[in-house]
Amino acid sequence: MKKSTKITLILAAILMLTGGIMALVCMVLGADWDDLELYLKNPFKQEEDWKDSFDIVINSDNADTWTFDDERIVGLDLDIEAGTLVIQYSEDNKCNVIVENGRKGLRCEVKKGILTIEENDSIHTLLDWKGDETPYVVVTLPGKVIEEGLLQSVQISVGAGNVVAKSLVSKSVQVDVDAGAFACEGLWVRGHCDIDVDAGSVTIENGCVEEGLQIDIDAGQVSYGGVLQCDWQVEVDAGSVTMDLDGSMMDHNYQIQYDLGQVQVGDKVFEGLSDTVNLKHGASNYAQIQCSMGQVNVSFSK
């Protein structure tokens, strides 16, 4: 990114306009985070906490149901434009998907172990939508999916809706959020995790990523708490990232680049004119932080 103040301010104006458009889209589509009470359980505190399901009531008169018997689910590919999608688990060996107020063209299928839920955003689907009725999707996976760590990949795309996962354990995780929100209190990624946010938000309260974390933000927000046993990278334009990490600042070496933004790592604060700072602690893992006009705050438990 060029360090010219003029170019930076032009980019800021563009980002502000984009954020306003995204917010308007969110209001029009009827996304409402308050529709769901997020009393999530932490799967890493007690064994079998995943069995505590959400208390969800679905109006069966307006619901579509899919049941996949004896399916070995090894991946999730979930795409929701509006409304709410919840991921939970049960002791049943079946995979159940219930959709209330679903729009025409919604696709739900399992192929080669990948559960796919996708909304058709064609003009026919948009004409079918009723402004006061947004989709409410409940995905109930077999308990063995999390007990045995069967998921190899999780891809979640959120438009202006909300996606809530009670807990997720997977080899790889990719989350893309436009103007909506994604929340997961218990996230364990054995491989790499990618998070991309435009004007929405991502909240992970108790995460563990083993091989690599990449966070890219335009004008949104990301909050991550937990363990990072790997290299990680954060790129922020005009948004904000808050990280509350288990361990100490000495667990990583840092390369910090900032323009008009502010970066705080532990008790060290970097702001003002553009600069690049390297903090070397002799650690085996590296963290890269690039902050244009937003904020990055990294704190530690030790």
Mean pLDDT by 10 residues, the chain (302 residues): 47 51 44 35 40 51 80 90 90 87 78 88 48 78 86 96 92 97 95 97 96 96 95 96 95 94 94 91 94 95 88
Cα–Cα separations (whole angstroms), residue 237 to 19, 106, 134, 180: 12, 34, 31, 18
Predicted TM-score of the model (pTM): 0.79
d(CA 192, CA 210): 7
Cα–Cα separations (whole angstroms), residue 295 to 11, 191, 201: 16, 27, 14
Q: State the pLDDT at residue 38.
A: 31
297, with CB counted inside 10 A (0-12, 13-18, 19+), is middle
Q: State the pLDDT at residue 37.
A: 33
**Tokens in use for 231?**
């290299």
Q: State the pLDDT at residue 54.
A: 52
Q: State the pLDDT at residue 134.
A: 76
Residue at token pair 């409940």: 138
Q: State the pLDDT at residue 260.
A: 87
Q: Where are the domains of the chain?
A: 31-188, 191-302
What's the CA angle centered on 39, arms 35 and 45, to 5 degrees?
Answer: 155
Q: State the pLDDT at residue 62.
A: 65
Q: Kind and range of the H or E element at 16?
A: helix 5-29
